[in-house]
Amino acid sequence: MPLLAQRSVFLSAGLIGILGPLLGCGVNATKPAEDGGGGAVAAAKPGQEGKGGDKTGEIVQGILRAKSSEDADAGFKALFELAEKDGLRSLKTHPHNTIALRAAWEEVRRTKVDKDPKSAELHSRQLSRFVGFVEGRLHVDLPEWWEKEMEGSEPAWQARVYGKTGIRLARGDEAWVPPGTSVELRDGKAVLKVGKESVTLAKAVFEDVAKGGRVSAWLDAQRCYVAGHGRFMSEYLLYCIDRKTGEVLWKAKVWAPSFFRGGGGGMIPPHVVEIKAHEDRVIVFGSGFDAMYVEAFSAKDGSNLYRFTTGSGRD
């Protein structure tokens, strides 16, 4: 599938308080989006609750109001304990992408995979169908690397392993940057270039953005959307900056949930991030050692529209 123009790819990873503020609003954004696939708390409709009726609908509401990835994950665990196969099918039609995408992934996760070739073939088909489902729900071309990594993810016998993008980064002034992106310090300012487009940022602003040591960005005609993140998956900030004035218009938290707690040998695959601006949305695609994710935000105010993560794959 074709990539959109001006992309930037970058290397860089219970129920307590679940009824807190709306899911993932921007740091300085208080008004949630109003569409069913956005930040609004979409009510569960008849036929969409799955087994458990009102109880399932209550859990769904809690997930959509979760104020952390841990709270949301605990909510999904409770939800899927109630939802049998038919229940998952109903949840896949939920108007909110946060619920629908995770339900579709739960179908994949529940598939028993062993070393039999037929089992592996079934797993591969399911992953391809899931990628198609994601693209259909989001109405956007997925990053090629994200799509290929999802379709090629291997269900190791104890943990699903991601992070095999093979993308290489380069060292720019003050930060590591992805292919097609550069950073230069000039006269006390930072010039961030993505493709043929560039934006000049005050050094203090850029240093705040680049605290994690790695930067991914997308530039459109009026705005720069830039994320400063680390090598491993963890929460970071997405910034919206006016290209003309250099003013920070809003900041939003990207959860980028990681379930890795250390251990094991060898090289841990790094965090990979790509930002896309599409219509009135800013979409962040990411992948790390043990999870892949998609999080979307309102281009207007940074309020969160939906979040999806594969979770750790560990049971």
Q: Left, alpha or beta for 55 (phi > 0: left; psi -120 to 50: alpha)?
A: alpha
Q: Which helix (H) or strand (E) holds 160?
A: strand 160-161
Buried b (16+ CB within 10 A) or exposed e, 100-114: bbbbbbbbbbeeebe
CA distance 177 to 190: 13
Could you give the CA distance from residue 97 to residue 308 in angstroms, rounded to a whole number? 8
Strands 197-202 and 160-161, bridge-based pairing:
unpaired
Euclidean distance between CA atoms 33 and 49, whole angstroms = 22
Contact 26, 250 (CB under 8 A): yes
For every residue of 288-314, DSSP letters joined together read -SS-EEEEEEETTT--EEEEEE-----
Q: Which domains does the chain have, with CATH numbers?
A: 20-157 (no CATH), 170-309 (2.40.10.480)
| CA–CA gap between residue 230 and residue 121 (Å, rounded) | 35
Tens digits of pLDDT across the chain (315 residues): 443 434 343 333 333 333 333 333 444 443 333 344 543 333 444 444 444 568 999 999 999 999 999 999 999 999 999 998 889 999 999 999 999 999 999 999 888 777 777 887 888 899 999 999 999 999 999 999 899 888 887 654 334 445 555 566 777 767 888 888 999 989 989 999 999 999 999 999 999 999 989 999 999 999 999 999 998 889 999 999 999 999 999 999 999 987 665 555 556 777 889 999 999 999 999 988 778 999 999 999 999 999 999 875 444
**End-to-end Cα separation, the chain, in angstroms:** 33
Please answer whether residues 217 and 238 qualify as being in contact, where contact means their C-beta atoms are separated by less than 8 angstroms: no
Closest of 243, 182, 246 to residue 208, by C-alpha: 246
CA nearest 52: which of 28, 88, 100?
88
Question: Please, is 274 exposed, middle or buried when counting C-beta atoms within 10 Å of its C-beta (0-12, 13-18, 19+)?
Answer: buried
pTM listed for this prediction = 0.80
